Structure 1
Amino acid sequence: MTTRREFLGGVTTAGAMTFLGAGPAAASTDADPALDADPNADADPIADPDADTRDPDPLAQQGEARNAIFAIDTDTRTYYDALRAELIHQLSPVIIVQNDYRGGRYTLIHDGAQESLHPVSDMFESAKSIAHAPLGIYSIIAPYLSHRIPDLPGSTRLDRHDLDMVAFKGPGTTDWLGPLRSFATTLAGARRQLGDARMPHGLEASSTRILDASLEFVDASVRRSSIDMTSFESYTSRLTNDIAINIEHAAQAQIEGVEALMTRWRDQVGAADWPGLYIVVLSIWTTSALNQNSIIVKRFMDPANADSHLIDLPTAQPPADAVFVALDNLARIVQDNVAAETVFPLDRELADALKGPEDLMAQAILSQLACPYRSRTG
């Protein structure tokens, strides 16, 4: 059995004609009286010596039969895809959020019009950028770390196999020196100009401490041509509070920018259409479960629809066309919502599976795995 995503599709023209009872038109020819014989007349046909009198191959018959059955799924998927392609242009109102380093690119689609912008001030990016300094250093030195786990506060939570895979080069080389020096140049440039960025006092102070500590760690590591997990964690543990301060400032900038935009768009869409609003938030998997943009926008949605109309869509990589990806997935969701209640009007469990992220076969598989020896029909 196919999954519901593989199951849904379309019908060919010829198949549709057959289904409706129409067959191919008969060829128009001038009848030959000599060939216009009485079908009930006795005949003694001459046997064809080359005729194949063997019994049909059962495997060939089985293959043909199954291909005929598979054609149902092929045609269904064709029609399903056609419906989705048309439905994309009917979706409204929709807000699409593409998470990015600037706090998110927001797009509103309503009544055929589309508006896109970044609503968050650059204070968000500034605060996060500096807070990322330890992560930048880690990304350079991680492949060269020792596979031995030192006795550190978080060592019991560190997966040894994960460390083995990340530290794939080991400490036997100093190839990290060049990249680390280059990153130090970037950090030093930001530190020199930090005062000109006109940050709030608290943010500037925490950012100063993060940059200074990062430059100190790099300088010490380069001078001794050695890096290790103990010295790195000693450096990062001093910055916990400062990183938290930067995150607080970034969060404040994001809340202010998104709330101002959502307020404007809510007035623009109007009270009649706003309750039906869908919001699709695209993010990579590591930030999808409790995404910052989803938290903010949900407060503006109609409470009755917020849980079902806010779609968090994890992606492997930020898509090249976030709007199309969001609408393509939303079209599947919307048409499945209607299909669920009309295809399974008497089965709540199957209907809920079809209209949600659960695979339609999931419950059947769970049931059979839980009781593999239960009696089966057919």
Structure 2
Amino acid sequence: MPTRRTVLGAAAAVGATAALTNLTTTGTAHADTDADRQKAARDSIRAVDTGMRTNYDTLRANLINHLGPVVVVNNDMQGGTYYLVDDGKVVEQIQPVDEIFELAKSVAHTPLGIYSICAPYLDPRDIPPSQAAYIDPHDLATVAFTGPKDTSWTTPLQAFSTTLDTARRQLEEARLPADLHDSCAFILDHAHEYIADTLRTREFDMRSFEDFSGAVYPSIRTNMYWSSKVQIQGVSNLLTRWKKQVGDDAWSNLYVVVLSLWTTYELNQNSIIIKNFLNQGKAGTHLIDLMTAQTPGDPVHVALDNLARIVQDNIAAEMVFATDQTTADALKGRQDLLSTEILRLLGDGGTGAHAAGALTKGQVNQIVCPFHNRSAATASVV
């Protein structure tokens, strides 16, 4: 039989449950509201950057139509395709370098062609002592991903040999300069012999390949000479003509953007030649080597899009960071805007209190080396 105590106890339990349920529901709703408010607040902050980028992109897109004079160079296999641009439009497009450039380089690439076929089948343990100090064993093991037991390289190597032999048979008809002809003949003849021996023994190793490549290297240097010679001549003649066409005043403000892959990005041959034709006081800022991940489909647009960013940042830097020339220079150049501060925090951008800013010595040490300072983290900061 229920008693007053049990009834009241049951009622209290029900009331308590209801109260707890309501408390939980209210707490969850409140938490959700706080989370929503935080998200909305943060989204509104992000909107500032979104708005900036929208207007920044609009400025860049419009600025492209006012860029000029500009020379855009797409660093290609023909020695470079050159574009003269004014007010964002291509005035002239030309490949100024004689085809001797391409032909000389083509034959000079013979050892690299053989290497590209056979490299996966190398024995990583087969490093000649003379090269051991210059070859990273891990890189070699990565390239030699198949290993020496597989001889699948013989078929593509034979096919490449056929290509080389065809070029050798028709070499006379190409009518190359005498010393270039002779160097090409030497490379192709020795490549034929090397491939024949390699196919006969069905063995490819670093030592024998280096003997071959070393033997043809003087001839490769001759081919490099001819490629360089005709490139200098072609580019020089073109820039001399364009300078006269544009006029000295406009040419003094000329921007040049050279697009190339990482492997030819530093000391690019076109940039070396072009620099001699620029206003030397502005060559450091107006000759721009632009590294690309791959050959762009529209080199002019890629060049102008990046140049517009550079030009507008040159002015923005002085206006936005008028009180700090170091930060202004970072925005104007290739330096990331946060790089200085990151270097300071890591202890690489200065010393003592100046480098640390508001951080204590112990805090800076932990930023620089968090793993090495685990034991110090529990110590008192000095």
Q: TM-score range by the shorter chain?
A: 0.7 to 0.9
Q: Which amino acid aligns with 1:375?
A: A
Write out per-residue CA displacement over residues 18-59 of structure 1, whole angstroms, 9 at most, x where no aligned residue. xxxxxxxxxxxxxxxxxxxxxxxxxxxxxxxxxx99767333
Q: Does 2:125 match 1:139?
A: no
Q: Displacement, 1:200?
A: 1.1
- Which structure is higher in helix share? 2
CA distance in 1, matches of 2:65, 2:139: 45
TM-score by length of 2: 0.82
Q: Displacement, 1:225?
A: 1.2
State which of 47, 59, 83 in structure 2 corresponds to 1:83.
59
Trace 1:197-346 onto structure 2 (pairs within 5 A).
197-346=174-323
Trace 1:114-129 onto structure 2 (pairs within 5 A).
114-129=91-106
Q: Does 2:165 match 1:188?
A: yes
* Conservation of the 8 A alpha-carbon contact between 1:284 and 1:315: yes
Trace 1:150-161 onto structure 2 (pairs within 5 A).
150-161=127-138
CA distance in 2, matches of 1:212, 1:266: 44
* Conservation of the 8 A alpha-carbon contact between 1:282 and 1:315: yes
Q: Displacement, 1:155?
A: 2.5
Structure 1 stretches of 5 or more lacking a match? 1-51
Partner-residue secondary structure (3-state), 1:116:
strand
CA distance in 2, matches of 1:208, 1:166: 30
* Conservation of the 8 A alpha-carbon contact between 1:152 and 1:230: no
CA distance in 1, matches of 2:275, 2:290: 15
Q: Displacement, 1:374?
A: 5.6
Decide whether aligned partners of structure 1 residues 327 and 373 sit closer, same or farther in structure 2, where only a CA change above 3 A counts: closer
The structure, 1 or 2, with the larger RCO (C-alpha pairs under 8 Å, 6+ apart) is 1
* Conservation of the 8 A alpha-carbon contact between 1:149 and 1:155: no
* Conservation of the 8 A alpha-carbon contact between 1:110 and 1:269: no
* Conservation of the 8 A alpha-carbon contact between 1:96 and 1:281: yes
Q: Does 2:50 match 1:74?
A: yes
Q: Which amino acid aligns with 2:212?
A: Y
* Conservation of the 8 A alpha-carbon contact between 1:102 and 1:122: yes
Decide whether aligned partners of structure 1 residues 230 and 55 sit closer, same or farther in structure 2, where only a CA change above 3 A counts: closer
State which of 50, 53, 58 in structure 1 corresponds to 2:34.
58
Q: Which amino acid aligns with 1:274?
A: W
RMSD: 1.7
Decide whether aligned partners of structure 1 residues 373 and 59 sit closer, same or farther in structure 2, where only a CA change above 3 A counts: farther
Q: Which amino acid aligns with 1:209?
A: F
Structure 2 stretches of 5 or more lacking a match? 1-25, 361-382
Trace 1:29-68 onto structure 2 (pairs within 5 A).
57-68=33-44
Decide whether aligned partners of structure 1 residues 310 and 200 sit closer, same or farther in structure 2, where only a CA change above 3 A counts: same
* Conservation of the 8 A alpha-carbon contact between 1:84 and 1:328: yes
Q: Which amino acid aligns with 2:265?
A: S
State which of 51, 71, 82 in structure 2 corresponds to 1:95.
71
Q: Does 2:85 match 1:109?
A: yes
Q: Which amino acid aligns with 1:68?
A: S
CA distance in 1, matches of 2:304, 2:254: 13
CA distance in 1, matches of 2:36, 2:270: 57
Partner-residue secondary structure (3-state), 2:337:
coil
Write out per-residue CA displacement over residues 321-363 of structure 1, whole angstroms, 9 at most, x where no aligned residue. 1111011110110010010011111211110000011000000
TM-score by length of 1: 0.83
Write out per-residue CA displacement over residues 71-114 of structure 1, whole angstroms, 9 at most, x where no aligned residue. 10010000001111111111000000001110000000124452
Write out per-residue CA displacement over residues 210-241 of structure 1, whole angstroms, 9 at most, x where no aligned residue. 11111111100111111111110111111121
Partner-residue secondary structure (3-state), 1:82:
helix
Partner-residue secondary structure (3-state), 1:157:
coil
Q: Which amino acid aligns with 1:199?
A: L
Partner-residue secondary structure (3-state), 1:289:
coil
Decide whether aligned partners of structure 1 residues 161 and 203 sit closer, same or farther in structure 2, where only a CA change above 3 A counts: same
Decide whether aligned partners of structure 1 residues 373 and 361 sit closer, same or farther in structure 2, where only a CA change above 3 A counts: closer
Partner-residue secondary structure (3-state), 1:238:
helix
Q: Displacement, 1:311?
A: 0.5
* Conservation of the 8 A alpha-carbon contact between 2:83 and 2:90: no
**Percent identical:** 49
Q: Displacement, 1:63?
A: 1.8
* Conservation of the 8 A alpha-carbon contact between 2:126 and 2:205: no
Higher mean alpha-carbon deviation, 61-70 vs 190-199, is at 61-70
- Counterpart of 2:380 in structure 1 is none
Decide whether aligned partners of structure 1 residues 324 and 190 sit closer, same or farther in structure 2, where only a CA change above 3 A counts: same
